[in-house]
Amino acid sequence: MNKVPLTKRGAEKLREELQHLKSVERPRVIQAIAEAREHGDLKENAEYHAAREQQSFIEGRIQEIEGKLSNAQIIDVTQMENTGKVIFGATVDLADEDTGEEVTYQIVGDDEADIKQGRISVSSPIARALIGKQEGDVATVAAPGGEKNYEIVEVRYE
């Protein structure tokens, strides 16, 4: 299976979620199943079926996270020398050449992407246009409304 790139922070968040699922959610749902069983006939017991469905979801999520972590390639950009080049994990300040509007994005793995927090997936069109460029370069992004040009103002490895 292919390695999945993750930032150090992204891997830590996945580990925290995994720990929470195993130590809090799994025991809670096992208790709920036990209580529902005490109510009698399981065929017509909605509480039992809901708890079993929730257990199935939790176990699936645990397997998914464990799979991602086992295939993760954790990249800590803070340990790298800042060459001014846009790489995975870098935080990039951009200026829209048409409007002058400035935006800041961090390039992260697919699972970590959250546009509201300024984290974009490495496989997104903007990130693909930025990777390999340096401060002062102009990146052209094919957007739904036509091409957009962004000047790379600053590249930080934080």
Query: Rounded CA gap, 53 and 29, in Å?
Result: 10
Q: Would you place residue 45 in the very low, low, confident or very high pLDDT band (cuts 50, 70, 90)?
A: confident
* Final residue belonging to a domain, choices 31, 51, 75: 75
pLDDT score of 130:
92
What is the value of pTM for the model shown?
0.78
Number of domains in the chain: 2
For 80-84, 103-107, 124-128, which range has the lowest pLDDT when averaged over its residues?
A: 80-84
Q: Would you place residue 38 in the very low, low, confident or very high pLDDT band (cuts 50, 70, 90)?
A: confident
Q: Which residue has the tokens 């809901």?
A: 50
Give the bridge partners for 120, in sequence order: 107
Pairing of strands 146-156, 91-96: antiparallel
* Pair (23, 69) in one structural domain: yes
* Final residue belonging to a domain, choices 75, 94, 128: 75
* Pair (82, 152) in one structural domain: yes
* Final residue belonging to a domain, choices 75, 90, 108: 75
* Pair (105, 69) in one structural domain: no
Q: State yes or no: pLDDT of 41 exceeds 80.
A: no
* Pair (70, 94) in one structural domain: no
Q: Which of 29, 27, 21 is nearest to 53 (CA)?
A: 29
- When pLDDT is averaged across residues 46-68 and rounded to a whole number, the result is 93
b/e per residue 85-110 (b: at least 16 CB within 10 A): bbbbbbbbbbbeeeeeeeeebbbbbe
Mean pLDDT, the chain, whole residue set: 90
Query: Rounded CA gap, 119 and 139, in Å?
Result: 18
Q: Which residue has the tokens 């934080």?
A: 158
* Pair (65, 42) in one structural domain: yes
* Pair (83, 146) in one structural domain: yes
CATH of the domain at 50: 1.10.287.180
pLDDT score of 143:
79
Pairing of strands 91-96, 102-108: antiparallel
CATH of the domain at 98: 3.10.50.30
Q: State yes or no: pLDDT of 1 exceeds 70.
A: no
The phi and psi torsions of 71 (rounded to 5 degrees) equal -105, 10
Q: Which residue has the higher pLDDT, 99 or 62?
A: 62
* Pair (92, 63) in one structural domain: no
Tell me the pLDDT tens digit for each residue of 81-104: 888 899 999 999 999 888 889 999
* Pair (110, 139) in one structural domain: yes
Distance of alpha carbon 105 from the chain centroid: 14
Asked if residue 36 lies in contact with residue 47, where contact means CB atoms within 8 angstroms, the answer is yes
| Burial category of 14 from C-beta neighbours within 10 Å (exposed 0-12, middle 13-18, buried 19 and up) | buried
Range of the domain at 23: 4-75
Q: How much of the chain exceeds pLDDT 70, in percent?
A: 99
* Pair (87, 141) in one structural domain: yes
DSSP3 helix / strand / coil % (the chain, rounded to 5)? 40, 30, 30
* Pair (53, 95) in one structural domain: no
* Pair (70, 107) in one structural domain: no
Q: State yes or no: pLDDT of 2 exceeds 80.
A: no
pLDDT score of 81:
84
